[in-house]
Amino acid sequence: MTSNEKRKKIILIIEDEKDILFTLKDFLESEDYQVLIAENGFEAMQLLKTSGIPDLILLDMKMPVMNGWEFAIEFLDKHDHLSPIVVMTAAANAEQRAKDISAVGWVEKPFDLDVLLKTIKKYEKK
Ligand SMILES: [Mg+2]
């Protein structure tokens, strides 16, 4: 990589459903992102100790071990608002859930990958 090349933006996906997790990972890698994955909030907090701060976090809400609400509280406590968080939720109250945890945005499941990509590009760190 030359110094003129931009570094890849880093997206952290936190999602307990593996089919969704790996579909998103493959899709975002094909869009030239560097992708980090975790299957629950606890795994994500462990990963963040060594990974550095992502340019955006895609956060599922309902997960075992540590859910999206718990992750958001701990992440904001430790890292303030260093990474924008986008909530991924099937709930009809997606907007409210995003507000609850101070997320910048949300995508409703099942999502359209084009909509997801537009949402990421809108909110990722510039
Ligand atoms: Mg889930």
In this model, does residue 4 exceed pLDDT 70? no
The C-alpha atoms of residue 16 and residue 64 are separated, in whole angstroms, by 7
- Ordered by start, the domain boundaries in the chain are 10-123
For the ranges 2-16, 24-38, 71-85, the maximum mean pLDDT occurs at 24-38
The C-alpha atoms of residue 29 and residue 12 are separated, in whole angstroms, by 12
Q: Given pLDDT bands bounded at 50, 70 and 90, which one contains residue 5? A: low
**CATH no. of 10-123:** 3.40.50.2300
* pLDDT, greater one: 52 or 14: 14
pLDDT 10s digits, 88-106: 987 788 888 899 999 999 9
pLDDT 10s digits, 18-63: 999 999 999 999 999 999 999 999 999 999 999 989 999 999 999 9
**Contact between residue 8 and residue 54 where contact means Cβ atoms under 8 Å apart:** no
Map tokens 């998103």 to a residue.
24
CA 29 to each of CA 74, 80, 86, 112: distance values in angstroms, whole numbers, following the listed order:
27, 27, 18, 16
Q: What is this structure's pTM?
A: 0.93
CA 109 to each of CA 10, 17, 88: distance values in angstroms, whole numbers, following the listed order:
22, 12, 6
Residues paired with 89 in a beta bridge: 108
| Rounded distance from Cα 2 to ligand 1 centre (Å) | 39
| Rounded distance from Cα 15 to ligand 1 centre (Å) | 6
| Rounded distance from Cα 82 to ligand 1 centre (Å) | 24
| Rounded distance from Cα 51 to ligand 1 centre (Å) | 23
| Rounded distance from Cα 25 to ligand 1 centre (Å) | 16
Which 3 state secondary structure label does DSSP give 126?
coil
